[in-house]
Amino acid sequence: MLVRAALIEMGSTSFRLTVNTGQEIDRRSHHLHLGASVSSNGSFTERDIAAATRVTAEFMTNAKAHNCQRVIAVATESFRLAANGLAVASHIEREAGCQIKILLPEEENTLTWQAVANHFPNTDHLTTIALSGGSLGISSGSLGRKTPAHNFSYPLGTGVLAPRASTDGYIDTSTRIRLEHHIAESLKPAATAVKESGDSSFVIVGGMPLAMTKLIHTIRRSEVPENLNGLGVDCSDLGHLIKTFSELSIPARLALPGMSSKRCEYMPLGVTILRQAMRSLGVHAAVVSTSGPKETLLSRLTAEVRAA
């Protein structure tokens, strides 16, 4: 049986469509930066709503063109934080004709942890650090469980923090120190739980961490890595990036080999958040994974279509 299913991810940085036709995968994305807008305004603006509705409708048209039997949309931190998040989700549902589920923080983290666990079957204990535009999620547990034993989520994503911590892509030293202190204080419960769990394999997830890792390894080797999955990143690498970004203009950053033009402005903030998160958890080095909620959701969606 040929299964055709589509997933729309309504993230705080970008909206992404993934279509599984049973034979190939079709992907599309649009950067809307809703997290930064909600952080600044408290709610989605009319411009945000129009853009989100337009992109979702476009994705639905594409999914229908692929004759998808099932399409679902999931929304994350920006919809959780916005005062009008529920109302906007309902509006988009009516206008675009798709069902939208606003994920709870623990649901989003669990989906990420499960996806990564499937790619690290030889690991006894796994801790995931998921950094997105809206949130910083930390989940930890034994792979003998179906769900993580510890699950924490904080509104410490790059997009959410950018309006308060970054000016035109720069973070001054005093702001960075205050931000690091704030992250360290916020993560104390997670750090205690993770450290009490004993030895764990640490895996970092998210578009921003992947972009950082790509930049680090491209600069180091003078060539873009073919596959980011499983590559290492450590606090020393991140510290070097923080120093580099503080000395370079935006055009100079864009000239760095492997730099993501879409993430260039927020990357100094992302590096600062990730380094402090690793420091707080007592881990110097970790690997990155290209897995995320998408893999778990698509797997479930495909199974549901087959069973229907």
Report pLDDT digits (tens) over 147-173: 999 999 999 999 999 999 988 889 999
Q: What are the chain's domains?
A: 5-103 (3.30.420.40), 106-289 (3.30.420.150)
Mean pLDDT of 18-32: 83
| pLDDT band at residue 220 using 50, 70 and 90 as cut-offs | confident
| pLDDT band at residue 20 using 50, 70 and 90 as cut-offs | confident
Q: Tell me the DSSP string of 174-186.
A: HHHHHHHHHHHHH
Angstrom distance (rounded) from CA 113 to CA 143: 10
Secondary structure string (H, E, C) spanning 196-231: HCCCCEEEEECHHHHHHHHHHHHHHHCCCCCCCCCC
In total, the chain counts a number of residues equal to 308
Question: Which pLDDT value is given to residue 89?
Answer: 98
**Quick check: 22 pLDDT over 80?**
no
Is the pTM higher than 0.95? The answer reads no
Question: Which pLDDT value is given to residue 168?
Answer: 86
Read off the pLDDT of residues 108-142 as tens digits, 9 standing for 90 and up. 999 999 999 988 878 889 999 999 999 999 999 99
| pLDDT band at residue 290 using 50, 70 and 90 as cut-offs | very high
Least confident of 7-16, 70-79, 290-299: 290-299
Element (H, E) at 124: none
Least confident of 6-15, 48-57, 64-73, 235-244: 64-73
Angstrom distance (rounded) from CA 192 to CA 194: 6
Q: What is the mean pLDDT of the chain?
A: 92
